[in-house]
Amino acid sequence: MNILFLSTWFPYPLDNGSRIRTFYLSQALATHHELTIVAFNPEARNSDNHVATQQRTGMRVVPVADDPFRYANLPTLVKYLSPIPVTLWPSRAMEKTVERLISNSRWDAFVAFQSPVARYARRVAAPVHIFDLDAALSHTMYQHFKAQTSPPARIRAWLSWQKAQQREASLVKGFDICTIASTHELNHLQHLIGSTGAKAVVIPNGVDCAHNHPNHRPKIPGRLVFNGSLAYQANHDAMRFFLSQIYPIMQATSHELTVTITGSTKGVTLASLALDNSVHLTGFVDDVRIPVAEAEVCVVPLRQGGGTRLKILEAMALGTPVVATSKGAEGLEVAPGKHLLVADDPATFARYTLDLLADPALRDRLAINARRLVEERYDWQIIGRRFVDLVEGAVERSRKEQR
């Protein structure tokens, strides 16, 4: 099959959840079929990532020198008056690239990854159109609306949620299959689809178990890790919550604690974080496995956001036990007490984390169970094969209907 895959995110480097999902799902398709991936890449003039992606996957990569999030910093009034979220505004560069590709080739399937590229589906004449929402933008906007407390903020968040929901409901109409990363968001996706006839399917996020494996690096006593960039608002809120309300409770009991927070802090406001000498911000790291594997506990105190947490799956694959909020573990088929510990209030979260630090046997039991879980259910090899089967099955059914 000849597949055209449009992505909001360039699939390399693998430095955030969206890139990781893009990379592994597109790689799975490219292993079995001819695949061309067209992806936004604001740094397209730097060809290193372009070359690395082609070398690692064998797929044809077409970078588009534009940024779908370039309007995110527009004045609030402009965003407020826009009839659709500014992240869904059209890109002329992407339009021209798609037009060129569809005029020169015949496509058996079209895949759109995330809402900013779904608008281009109607231009592509293919028997099957698939829309991977990953985490639905409208669901994320709804979560943001619920988190607001002041009336002006609630009004702005409500309007943003309504615009996103109306736009995504319009976008899904052009697709045969819509996929989502979390079982928790499946009902929301089915509501968006309504009576359009599109099929809603969960394709979960995963982890590369061969690349992320317990290497028995020496654990650093008292070391906690949060493996998520503070540039993502939900991660920033999680660390603000942890450092201001959870960590002080723990420090009152133990003075041998340290916290490592991975990911770039470029453009991030750190003033609202209760940082002290025991908290280390790594900035961007080439290999996040090292700080995660060295920690005794991975903390995931998320209160916002959608989708599923690759940071939890990474820690589980690496043999680092996890303490998470219910929101942090949302969408994962995990059993609290068997695969990880779950707590939502600061006192319980602090107590569970301290219990893990003090109990090597409990850490080992959770780590073993969690590693087995990701091997059986969340390995990208398994998930990628499921996605390939979904696309192949849809194309085969379409061909039979046309005979």
- What are the structure tokens assigned to 359, written together? 């109990």
Residues of the chain where predicted confidence (pLDDT) is lower than 70: 44-57, 76-80, 307-308, 403
Share of the chain above pLDDT 90, in %: 64
> In the prediction, which pLDDT does 42 show?
85
Q: CA 281, CA 279: separation in Å to the nearest integer?
A: 7
CA triple 87-89-92, angle to 5 deg: 125
> In the prediction, which pLDDT does 196 show?
80
Which amino acid makes up residue 261? I
Evaluate the CA torsion angle 76, 80, 86, 89 in order and state its sign.
negative
The continuous run of DSSP H or E covering 207 comes out as none
Enumerate the H helices of 194-232 as residue ranges: none
pLDDT digits (tens, 9 = 90+) for 145-200: 988 889 989 998 898 889 888 888 888 988 999 999 988 888 889 988 987 888 99
> In the prediction, which pLDDT does 143 show?
83
Measured CA to CA in angstroms, residue 285 lies from 164, 206, 289, 291 at distances of 33, 20, 9, 9
> In the prediction, which pLDDT does 52 show?
59
Strands 223-226 and 2-7: unpaired
Q: What is the dihedral of CA 355, 356, 362, 368, to 10 degrees?
A: 160
Q: What is the DSSP string of 26-64?
A: HHHHHHHSEEEEEEE-TTTTS-HHHHHHHHHH--EEEEE
Which domains are seen in the chain, by residue range? 2-206+380-402 (3.40.50.2000), 223-377 (3.40.50.2000)
CA triple 198-183-367, angle to 5 deg: 145
The continuous run of DSSP H or E covering 131 comes out as strand 128-134
pLDDT digits (tens, 9 = 90+) for 1-54: 999 999 999 998 888 889 999 999 999 999 999 999 999 998 755 555 555 566
